[in-house]
Chain A
Amino acid sequence: MTPRVRIIGCGTFGNGDDQVGLEVAKRIRAVREDWDVVLDTGGGSNALDWAEGADLLVLVDACHAGNGLDLGQMLRIDYIRHPDVLEQCPFLSSHAMSIATGLKLLATLDRLPEHVEVYGVGARAFDPLKPFSPPVIAAVPELADRIIENVNLFLDSSPCTNSA
């Protein structure tokens, strides 16, 4: 059976680097029009929709740079194996409910997909109506390519598929 992959770009349009998850998702969608890619500005309260029918859930969001994470650098977390790591990450949440809360709710409700990967992108400028930090926007194409590559590896490793 073909594993179903859903990619969610999170963030707030217009809020500087907080848009990076959305930009990465847009880039992925432009490259892979056949994939299920969602731009989500509603935050963790949409978690039920994220998970519905997905075997691999990929979330991309901004997180505060620092502690070794540079601007535009990407952190990859296997949420199923290391759920606690997300709680320690300084993810930005200008949403009513963060993605960490959304994922914890999914876990509590026994609705987590079998595979969940969270990509945090090092970011700094989160204020409304602010532009991207140059290193963050410059990194978007490469970040999108890396996620596509990782998803393809996942799909290739599954028995009978080559599509998301």
Chain B
Amino acid sequence: MSSGPKAQPKTKTIHVKALARVEGEGALFLKTDGDRVVDVKLNIYEPPRFFEAFLRGRSYREVPDITARICGICPVAYQMSSCHALEEAFGLEVAEPYRALRRLLYCGEWIESHVLHMFMLHLPDFLGYDSAISMAADHQDLVTQALQYKKAGNDIVKMIGGREVHPINVRVGGFYRLPTRREFAPVLERLKRIRDFAVEACRFVAKLDFPDLDVDYEFVALRHHTDYPFNEGNLVSNKGLDAPIAEFSRHFQEQHVEHSNALHAVRLNGRGDYLVGPLARINLNFDRLPEMVREVAKEIGFIVPCRNNFMSIIARGLESLYAVEHAIEILEDYEQPDQPGLDVVPCAGVGHGCTEAPRGILYHTYETDPEGLIVSADIVPPTAQNQRRIEMDLTEFAPSLLNKPEAEMTLRLEQLIRNYDPCISCATHFLKLNWEKTP
């Protein structure tokens, strides 16, 4: 970290060179003038551009496995969005029992991703530790149970996806192989063992000390007519959006910005930034949660709409609890289907898929030729959609920190970025943050 002259600064630029506990690599530049933030640039490096080009000319069969490689923490989301898009292109509807099994797989990913972020990446901020390891020294039972909680998610993904990271058992039309009820039994047992802790985790995070933040976000998420959204639904917002996912490009657009390799997604017609992810999802779909989860939310005092994104950790806790309950429900009713998936007849077409990755909506669209080879692909990941909103949050939140010591200000800004659980890439954990101060 570097700072300007030691005289009372008027203008500042912060350069924090390593923000840990985010997924991927990038840099943040923040410049302030007096009590105003005059410049914020979140510079990140996203791989999906490469993957879109890489997909051209490949068979539809390869797409779920190739796109899963985009991210090590949310590969299921990429598989689900790609499968749904290609199934639409081929006019194939995948209903029960495969629909429930896809939701089960997503439950595993949400548990894995949310619990990792809540306890290993985000919680140390709130409790005043520099890492999960230093936090573990004082909270051994909590961290031990959190690891077991995450493992319950790993087990689901491993059992139905074939392995914990970059699962290989998903295909257009369903799965390659489905486990027997007996094979699922240990997964179900672990989920039942973790159930009480899933509730306790919600109670624990609800008691944290949350910085003040009240932002009039445009929340965007999927909304399904009966279920809490994973794989289906319309695109909705709290500001009037209600559109089928096929109209994604009529409402959202990716734009190049000079300071980042990643594209910024914005709402069209001058609507600008918006927020996707657990806070948006729960605000827009609270009534789709089962009563048990809503009761826990009520008990811990979580009220929607919630406009403080620091409380996204509570949303993650409640969504994780939902995932545990929903997975148990699916597994208790599970009967192995006769076939692991539907037959697929490829054709020329265009399809759209949008599903709820842990960090928010993940949109895919593909054009295929008559043999099912990919003619074109477009992928809009959630972090690209939140990128501008992160910069806006920093702009709005930073002035309240200007009288704080630089180290504390930096920590709070990093914490704010971690509210979004940004999945910058799955390869390394590194974000450079720069704060420039000019007298």
Contact = CB atoms under 8 A, between A and B. Distances in A.
Is chain B a partner of chain A in the same complex?
A: yes
Interface of A: 12-15, 40-43, 45-49, 93-97, 101, 104-105, 108-111, 126, 128-129
A94 B68 CA distance: 13
Contacts of B150: 45
Contacts of B72: 12, 94-96
A101 B69 contact: no
Interface of B: 23, 66, 69-70, 72-73, 112, 116, 120, 132-133, 136-137, 140, 143-144, 147-148, 150-151, 154, 158, 163-166, 168, 426-429
Given A13-B163, A94-B427, A104-B133, 18 more contacts: A42-B165, A43-B165, A45-B112, A45-B151, A45-B154, A46-B164, A47-B147, A48-B151, A93-B429, A96-B72, A105-B132, A105-B133, A105-B136, A105-B147, A108-B133, A108-B140, A109-B140, A126-B427
B140 A49 contact: no
Nearest to B47: A128
A36 to B, nearest CB: 17
23 contacts: A12-B72, A13-B168, A14-B69, A41-B164, A41-B166, A42-B158, A45-B154, A46-B164, A48-B144, A94-B72, A95-B165, A96-B23, A96-B112, A96-B116, A105-B133, A105-B136, A105-B147, A108-B133, A108-B140, A108-B143, A109-B136, A110-B140, A129-B66
Contacts, number: 74
B165 A48 contact: no
Contacts of A43: 165
Contacts of A93: 428-429
Contacts of B70: 128
Contacts of B158: 42
A107 to B, nearest CB: 8
A99 B144 CA distance: 16
Contacts of B112: 45, 96
B151 A49 contact: yes
Contacts of A110: 140
Contact of B165 (A12, A101, A108, A111): A12
Contacts of B164: 40-42, 46
Contacts of B154: 42, 45-46
A47 B120 CA distance: 13
Q: 9 tightest CB-CB pairs across the interface, nearest first?
A: A128-B69, A42-B164, A41-B165, A108-B136, A104-B133, A41-B163, A48-B147, A41-B164, A96-B73
Contact of B116 (A97, A105, A108): A97
Contacts of A129: 66, 69
Contacts of B66: 129
Contacts of B165: 12, 41-43, 95
A126 B403 CA distance: 44
Nearest to B148: A48
Contacts of B429: 93
A9 B206 CA distance: 38
A96 B112 CA distance: 10
Nearest to A39: B163
Contacts of A47: 147
B136 A46 contact: no
Contact of B143 (A46, A109, A126): A109
A30 B264 CA distance: 49
A73 to B, nearest CB: 23
Choose among A45, A49, A94, A105 the residue with the greatest number of B CB atoms under 10 Å from its CB: A45
Contacts of A14: 69, 166
Contacts of B120: 45, 97
A95 B429 CA distance: 10
Nearest to B113: A96
A42 B112 CA distance: 10
Nearest to A18: B427
A155 B322 CA distance: 46
Contacts of B143: 105, 108-109
Given A14-B69, A45-B151, A108 B428 contact: no
Given A93-B428, A96-B23, A45 B116 contact: yes
B68 to A, nearest CB: 9
Nearest to A128: B69
A49 B190 CA distance: 13
A79 to B, nearest CB: 15
Nearest to B136: A108
B146 to A, nearest CB: 9
A109 B166 contact: no
A19 to B, nearest CB: 11
B412 to A, nearest CB: 24
Given A42-B164, A96-B73, A108 B137 contact: yes
Nearest to B141: A109
A126 B165 CA distance: 15
